[in-house]
Structure 1
Amino acid sequence: MLLNTKQIMEIIPHRHPFLLVDTIESMIPGKSAVGYKCVTYDEPFFSGHFPDEPVMPGVLQIEACAQVGAVAILSLEENRGKTAYFGAINNARFKRKVVPGDRLRMECEIIKQKGPLGIGKAVATVDGETALTAELTFMIQ
């Protein structure tokens, strides 16, 4: 493990219950990061999504991937203390449900950046099976 939850919170502004990354396994600052979210039944969103069949909402899966990308981009010295905001979500595809007990592995590779704008290629998997792919546009402020 490269970064634990406390260290992640030193880089990005998210806090419980909206911090959706538990650990960062590997990172190349400004280029890419791989992180994990251990999905537990105690997640607040499961009480309503859905009570009889808990499923992690797709938008929260995308947010979790974006947080992994934000760790990578905000780890650069020139971006310390800034926030990475969403600019767009493109080509999002959901391939499987994410449910309690899953360990969501999230990769985000920064594929383009010009000034404060950039694009990250996100892939989330569970046990090697793709759960989500998307392109995430961000703006750093």
Structure 2
Amino acid sequence: MSEIKLNLEQIKEYQQNRHPYLFVDYIEKLVPGKISNGYKILSKDEWFFKVHWPGDPNMPGMLQVESLVQTSALALTTLPNNKGKLVYLISADRLRFIKKILPGSKLILNTKIKEYKRGLASVEGKAYVNDALVCSADFRIIMPDEINKFKVK
């Protein structure tokens, strides 16, 4: 399949998260079923900077993982007949939070689908700010609509 790019409005067509819980602004490189790379511009007005932590605002680790999950989900929802379907995180391993992500950062999100079968995907995700690795994780995501097709009746 060929590479595609998605702007914010196109991202919203393929997945169901919305502001303030949409953590990817643009997809620069996407190969359906394979990779999805994009970014999120983190303004100083993001809701979580106001509460995590006053006087030392930074992006919570689990929202970093959520950013990677949302980015990777687009590699599945751009496959034929998957547009707009739900994708859930079911597990995460080897989480690494290396540096604080501060207000004003451009969070680069790179994800790779290592394996996808019957609605279950294994994913590798890495996030960068200014070319420095800030977060990485291996995780599994599911598409319930696809998994349900394979249930024994």
Task: Give deviations 1:56-81, integer Å, cap 9, x for gaps.
Answer: 00100100111000111110013223
Which segments of structure 1 move beyond 3 Å, counting only runs of 4 or more? none
> Is residue 13 of structure 2 the alignment partner of residue 10 of structure 1?
yes
Unmatched runs of 5 consecutive residues or more in structure 1: none
Cα separation, 1, equivalents of 2:18 and 2:84: 15
Q: TM-score, normalised by structure 1?
A: 0.96
Instruction: Give the AA of the match of 2:133.
Output: T
Aligned counterpart for 2:45 among listed residues 18, 42, 45:
42
Instruction: Give the AA of the match of 1:22.
Output: D
Cα separation, 1, equivalents of 2:112 and 2:135: 14
**Count of paired positions:** 141
Residue 148 of structure 2 aligns with which residue? Answer: none
RMSD of aligned Cα (Å): 1.1
Q: TM-score, normalised by structure 2?
A: 0.89
Aligned counterpart for 1:23 among listed residues 13, 23, 26:
26
Cα separation, 1, equivalents of 2:52 and 2:43: 13
Identical columns (%): 37
Unmatched runs of 5 consecutive residues or more in structure 2: 145-153
Larger Rg: 2
* Partner SS for 1:2: strand
